[in-house]
A = this chain, B = another copy of it.
């Protein structure tokens, strides 16, 4: 994506942090390096102590920004879905055909992520890898209902809702738009993960990006 002239920043709801990491240099380093570290060693092995050493601060300081590493993960995934929504808006505004809007939306959700230079201290490629491998852990736990009530998954739901509406524009009688969209999002993540680690569960072809093709075909055939 082309770099924009103005400086952009994704605003994240204060439900995820104690002190806004966007408001200080040390906070920005927390975000920048947590993405690098979590992608490298995985969320289980990631600790605030390791992060503190990496950015030359102390555990106590990080705890003043995030009350737990789980909350930090929620912050990062929320950032990711907000970023996705912003990219979605750019991709589909002024496109008249609903089919083309849907085509672009599914593309956005299933194609390989590239870095976006508009957001300086976030590496979107690494963040995408984190979302692929770790985001499901943010809702696959016993706090899911409490956190859902707090609004932890609102951005994700909003994105699903938006694309569901395009589907209903194309076929108002299609009964499962939300199922279809959430299956595509989670499915695309999994297929990328399988391609890397469990190729027997997918159909990879190094020459072409079959993930996006598979899901586009699946969506358009399902709703016709």
Please indicate the chain B residues that have their CB under 8 angstroms from the CB of A160 in the complex.
200-201
How near does chain B come to A135, taking the closest CB pair, in angstroms?
10
**Nearest CB of chain B from residue A199's CB, rounded to whole Å:** 9
| Chain A residues in the interface with B (C-beta under 8 A) | 41-42, 44-45, 133-134, 136-137, 139-142, 144-145, 148, 153, 156-157, 160-161, 175-180, 182-183, 186-187, 190-191, 193-194, 197-198, 200-203, 210-211, 214, 217-218, 221-222, 224
Which one of A41, A177, A222 has the greatest number of beta carbons of chain B within 10 Å? A222
Enumerate the 3 nearest inter-chain pairs by beta-carbon distance, A residue then B residue, closest first: A157-B200, A221-B221, A182-B201
A198: chain B residues within 8 A (beta carbon):
139, 144, 148, 153, 157
A203 and B183 within 8 A (CB): no
CB pair A176–B210 under 8 Å, yes or no, is: yes
